[in-house]
Structure 1
Amino acid sequence: MRSIGEMARDSGLGVSALRFYDRAGVLVPAWVDPESGYRWYEPEQLEEARLLAGLRRAGMPLADIRLVLAGWAGADADLVRGLLQAHLRRLEAGLSDARREFSTLRAPLDHRESPMTSSRPASVRLTVPAAELAAALDAVRFAAGGDPELPMLGGVLFDIEGDGLRVVATDRYRMAVAHTGTDGHDGPRVQVVVPTPLVDAMRALLGGAEPVRLGVDGDRVTLEAGDRETAGQSLGHDFPDYRRLVSLPAGRRALVDVAGFRKALETGPVRAGEVREQDGVPCDLSVLGIADGGTVTVRDDGDDDQNRVAVNREFLLQALAAGARDELIVEFGAPTAPLAIRRPDDEETFSILMPVRLED
């Protein structure tokens, strides 16, 4: 017989999902240890579990999944085919509705579109402390996107305004913002999206103590550090208005010891192999809560408490590393609100992570 862990690994369903489908009477284990409550499955149940995982990924409602599995077990091919076709028709109708809605947005979108060059003067040059710029890039680089369908997210936004420079990166599921001071620019706001290969080349030059010189000349971005220089073309795309995206409702805050919190994440309960909104890529989820005393806990995913939030564990570990502090502030509100990681001594450098819905 297969343990629940082996079943999860081989079927594509998380352990918590298998528990849920047991409680729902959809995929009931062959035997449950009366003392430990541990679930065991017959080898032939693996086929049903894989079918269930596929139907789940296709978005089939639970009521229909129950009937499909019953028809599958009873070799009722007509029932299974009918249910699959009905769900496919619903998906196609939904896609058709979405296409109609999107088509109505094209005209106003074209009307609102503004050329990227409107925020780029002919030439801008300023100096930036090398160590501050290095720290800022380190704080945001992990959040840069890599989806070829969204090339505007495949870089880091350099937002120059007044005597400050903000660098911002996002891949939709996480966003990081950092700030550093500048000298030499007193003109209008300038925004340029620097592709990640050029960002990495810039970071490699930031090992010295002397300020570096940052230049923007149309679509060309240059960084000079002493007698060394790197330059390249910026991305010719608009970047999302990050200021709207980081305006979060007030949430509960807790100061965490990063080393201890990291250990709790790495050794604590995890919801493994889940597939949700994040590009359909399986990821391990950590479910977090804040205790009454202000302590962040890594919780058992079976705990049906609304004061919790589930996040991609790898993303959270990366955000903790990018925070570059022994202590960080973890802030979250409702299960559907983003989780924020902030520095106690620097409110302008932070990252936010989108939550992952826990439906079962």
Structure 2
Amino acid sequence: MNGITDGLKDIITKASLAARGSSLSRIRRRNLSEPAAKWVVQSRIGSEVGYALSIVLATSGCSHARSEKGGCTMCSYILDGAGQNVPTEDLIQQFQNALTSLKGLMAPISVKVYTSGSFLDPVEVPPEARAEILKAIDEDDRVRQVVLESRPEYMTDETASLVREILGDREIEIGMGLESADDGVRFLCINKGFSLSEFETALKTAASHGIGTRAYVLVKPPFLTERDALLDALQTIIAAAELGATTISVNPVNVQKHTLVQRMWSRGHYRPPWLWTVTEILKESRDQVASDVNVVCDPVAAGKPRGTHNCGKCDDAFVKAIRQFSLDQSTSHFEVLDCGCKSQWSHVLEHEDFAQLVHSLRFHKP
């Protein structure tokens, strides 16, 4: 990085830390034997449609967010954690309690294990807990797919080998937040803290053990205009597929508490992406990546002011189309969408201020 870029990076890191403030000290105490969240939805599993159990373990939290680097500019998932080190036996119990949600469901089933950071981080999830959780998954023959979230630095040969050994021949994916294929956007706008080459190394390490990569792509990081966000997401999806990602998960930004994005949003310097933008990204990317790479999207807070939204009148139809597309990969669901707000969206794409970064830097002032 050059001097100007380093200066911007320092400003954004300090602003992220300021936005987070003392929020970590206010994490609510929770029952350490219960997961932070769990839910079951219909999901595309390979070429089939089945059920996915998503589990968010309550851990000590993301190491990147707890560090002096300040964490990602849009993320406050660390506040869903326990705010303390969680004993191995409690993490195992959390997972066992969540597994009861699978009672009565038929195959194929996908189990997605999330934390507020990285499941493969040995500080956040001790290796003993990780191994026992994977063994519990392996005991259920209905489970065809397993998704584990992690930052790239924790995807080592040793870890990948252990995961593959325990889970046998199941389909395994490591969910990693690439967010943007542009190092400048990822470092400055998102404060992610790793390079594209580091992501690629982790992807190749996983692939060498027959483990796929579910690449998370962020739609509209702060400081990007709507048009820039659309183009950046499209380019990132194509780049991730070319690198060898097996699934692309498109994630529109939602405004979370105690984040830099919320500070900007509350001061009128940020708007979550339009649903028009999201559907355009999904439609265009589906035509440009190989058919065996699934492109999925499950937008958080969709249709609400803090999430991806249009005018309010058409939001439900757009969200329904996005979720149906994620199940069957057919862009036909988008062809029937129409609303008078499309002209406003088009105007934004053409005329939004391209000096947004300069103006938005006022956010760091108290």
The TM-score bracket by the shorter chain reads under 0.3
Higher strand share: 1
Larger radius of gyration: 1
Higher helix share: 2
**TM-score of the superposed pair, with normalisation by structure 1:** 0.27
